[in-house]
Structure 1
């Protein structure tokens, strides 16, 4: 493809061009900075390979790694540095490595800096590339020895490349002086890479565009991963950018009594939070909506943080929910997630990709507790959840989230309060009656219409969920130990005996 067809240079990094509003402005110098291991070299290689695909000549000038090390790094990602990409390994003259021929420190540094600059210019004139990578500025900073000489050197490089028409990436590993911002004021744009090490789990990486002259870009931090194949960036989700039109119809759960409690069902394009202590059946109620969606001929996606899939398939199949068969038939997407290996940005991208490619209209996230565990040092869980729910709502998808509360009876607490984010909140409770531990369900919030203000008992059976009539004869069901005020039949026929103290 002719290089003039692109006003910007595509980076070849999935997600990064979206953040940069289309790529890097041509014929400018950009800085990629980050400590060793953050992915600078990998991004640079992808940048050059993308240029080679477009028929552009590319040059990698390395002052820190050998050519063989670069080729080995590319091979580890199944990348091929083939035709169109030239690597220039800039090493100091042999005389400078000979202790007997070295001059004083001052003259040696003068010679090395001048020789380095000359070799950079000569290699460029020989190749005449459209894309250039210089790795890394730390070596030039050490040779310059002073901030003034370093700035002049960077300006000289900038002016040289400005006249050449090349798009240049300069890398800085931030090992010599992390407080030196000389290059920031000189280059056209700055991309900052970070690596975070949580107390448990794999490293988390994120990037931020600090500066991009004359160009609006997607600000803030964006998670990214380095995997076989290169770097993939997950642009921070902004729900306002994604809106579709759809009919806000009422959707059934497939359980008439539960639909009655919900005032007829849930509205399309809304979110429902199922909250209660462990074991009350939150996942089963969410999966009930999945089965109802499949019955309507729609597809559904289930993201599981807390349960092993084999166990989930086994226990639900005994209740008539053959999730494994539905998955194999391509009617539902079900995915088990490892909270210790997943960043919130990557999770949001997975959900978005599934909704877009699989056309899922029902999405289950089980549970928010596991989702929170994936970001132990994140302070923005609520913001992440808000954007994700708003995005799904705007796609006409129904989202069902579960939250496990601490405790079994009485005043229970949640690890995170997301009740105000959800359009509908369903509360599940244990209560004691007739000498048995029973379960109750109620709807405590619904933005999109009226709902019953009653409390209904439900049971988990081999035929699935059974929801009974309102528990009109009890008071204090939500506290766990109700008081019988009028004889009312329970699901198993007992009239109920309760604590009258």
Structure 2
């Protein structure tokens, strides 16, 4: 059976976008890039031309709404240099048209201006003979056409002309004249739509979506992207099923015998663990214990911190015998503080994936999911984002530890997001009162990958680190916060059993 040869692709030069487009834009075709002003169309178009120029291909940027000086100034702000391989053709009404004495109010019609505009574009193309063309923007042509029929015919004429020349064309549309006009959608080979969202607090969020790509599979759905100095970076939506790495699902001990007993030996490689509890119970400390254990085994680890300033975290961890600074200096630990108000979920997933792939990190901590949720306050798919991220990490053989702070301190508490069904292991921390002191207890309420203790143990955090006591068999109501002693022997940790300098 004969199979059609796959068309060559013109890469866009945008990190992540070529992956979304399955390699780039089909050469010799016309594509539409649409979005409201400020969404990044010009920056993407310039990157498209610069990518071709780097390969020795000539490019032509036809601007109908922006001056050449403005275009070059915007390019320089990103560090772009528009060299000899890229021709900027500024196509605006001549200055004589602004002079009232020169205007032809009866003879100068939109028909004439539209025809002259198209003719000028074709003449410039014949002179330059580029491989890549950008036309910015269609709003001006739509206004000149003054009707959907003439506008469609004009777009068809442009498409067929460039198709005969074999050029790859990117049409920009800022949607200012008509956001409901879908005329171009049915004509072009592919459509990419850019959107900008303005949350109640924090910086704007940008996302893109490929609406159409004839004869080509692409990554559907919305994908976050950012504009920064140096251009645009897109973050393809993570699909965990596409990533798989062979590994052995062995049991990883925590380094504390009593905690391993509680966990049925430890955490399985390639599984996820949720540490749940009210503020101050020690969720981060439990997570750091697994980090230290991984590094002691000679593995790499990564921590992504939303809630705590790194200097404070380093000092607090060192006070309990965990030197995060030294681990990072030795190259065994990647630790990154994230600003929830400046981060999109797609960018966060990309950062995690990037570090796991590049460093082969085997233990990943996200502290906490409360901060992760704060990074997307108006998103409705938080659980789906977490699900894909956990599945990806599990398939890479990485053990993931997530922390979630519950509302309240004792009694009936609730978490802001319920992901307990996603995690393979759930560790529950609680405060309780006994003998006039506030104490802490830990229990494992779920372990999908094996057996675990169903007991409750007291724990303490001191300058010697994390220490756990024996099961609290003689108490009832520990998880409610006010237990009752029903036994004969008090199993609570005595001050002499732990460092008196407890935290």
TM-score (norm 1): 0.96
Pair 1:367 & 2:375 matched: no
C-alpha deviation, 1:6, in angstroms = 7.9
Which residue pairs with 1:77 in the alignment?
A: 78
Unaligned stretches of 5+ residues in structure 2: 498-503
How many Å separate the matches in 1 of 2:128 and 2:396?
Answer: 49
**Range moving further from structure 2, 366-375 or 61-70:** 61-70
Q: Is the 8 A contact 1:431 1:479 kept in 2?
A: yes
Choose from 479, 485, 488 the match for 2:490.
Answer: 488
Aligned partner of 1:355 in structure 2 is 356
Measured on the aligned residues, the alpha-carbon RMSD in Å equals 1.5
Other-structure match for 2:467: 466
Q: Shift of residue 99 of structure 1?
A: 1.9
Distance in 2 between residues matched to 1:96 and 1:186, nearest whole Å: 32
Count of residue pairs the alignment pairs up: 492
Q: Write the distance in 2 (CA, Å) between the matches of 1:240 and 1:83.
A: 44
Q: Which whole-Å CA distance do the structure 1 matches of 2:443 and 2:215 have between them?
A: 54
Cα deviation per residue 1:379-418 (whole Å; 9 max; x = unaligned)?
A: 0000000000000000000000000000111110100000
Query: Which structure 1 residue ranges, 5 or more long, are not aligned?
Result: 496-501
Q: State the SS of the aligned residue for 2:479.
A: helix
SS, match of residue 477 in structure 1: coil
Q: Matches of residues 287-366 of structure 1 in structure 2 within 5 Å? A: 287-366=288-367
Rounded to whole Å, the distance in 2 between the matches of 1:353 and 1:6 is: 30
Partners of 1:147 and 1:489 in 2: CA distance:
82
Could you say which residue in structure 2 is the equivalent of 1:120?
121
2:95 match: 94
Once the two structures are superposed, what CA deviation does each residue of 1:332-376 show, in whole Å capped at 9, x if it has no partner? 001100000000000000000010112211000000000000000
Instruction: State the Cα deviation string for residues 453-476 of structure 1 (Å, max 9, x = none).
Output: 000000011101101100000011
Query: Partners of 1:178 and 1:131 in 2: how far apart?
Result: 26
Q: Secondary structure at the match of 2:459?
A: strand
Counterpart CA distance in 1 for 2:264 and 2:23 is 47
Decide which moves more: 32-41 or 90-99.
90-99
- Comparing 121-130 with 97-106, greater Cα deviation is found at 97-106
What's the counterpart of residue 39 of structure 2? 38
- Name the TM-score, length of structure 2 as normaliser: 0.96
Distance 2:107 2:425 in 1: 72
Q: Which residue of 1 aligns with 2:152?
A: 151
1:455 matched to 2:456: yes
Tell me by how many angstroms 1:429 deviates.
Answer: 0.2
Distance 1:299 1:411, change over 3 A: same
Q: For the residues of structure 1 that align with 2:307 and 2:55, how far apart are their CA atoms?
A: 45
Of stretches 367-376 and 91-100 in structure 1, the one that deviates more from structure 2 is 91-100
1:395 match: 396
Q: Contact conserved, 2:411 with 2:479, CA < 8 A, in 1?
A: yes
Q: 3-state SS of the aligned residue for 1:211?
A: strand
Distance 1:329 1:125 in 2: 59
Q: Which deviates more from structure 2 when the two are superposed, residues 363-372 or residues 109-118?
A: 109-118
Whether the 8 Å contact between 1:434 and 1:494 is mirrored in structure 2 is: no
The answer as to whether partners of 1:472 and 1:488 remain within 8 angstroms in 2 is no
Quote the Cα distance in structure 2 between the aligned partners of 1:40 and 1:450. Answer: 54
1:233 equivalent in structure 2: 234
Shift of 1:68: 1.1
> What secondary structure sits across from 2:403 in the alignment?
strand
2:35–2:194 Cα contact (<8 Å) kept: yes
Q: CA deviation at 1:108?
A: 2.5
Q: Contact between 1:457 and 1:468, CA under 8 Å: does it hold in 2?
A: yes
* Change beyond 3 A, Cα 1:441–1:321: same
**Contact residue 7 and residue 26 of structure 2 kept, 8 A:** no
Q: Is the 8 A contact 2:471 2:491 kept in 1?
A: no
* Distance (Å, rounded) in 2 between the aligned partners of 1:424 and 1:253: 14
Task: State the alpha-carbon separation in 1 of the partners of residues 99 and 17 from structure 2.
Answer: 44
Please say if residues 159 and 188 of structure 2, whose CA atoms lie closer than 8 Å, have aligned partners that are also in contact: yes
Distance of 1:14 and 1:331 partners within structure 2: 27
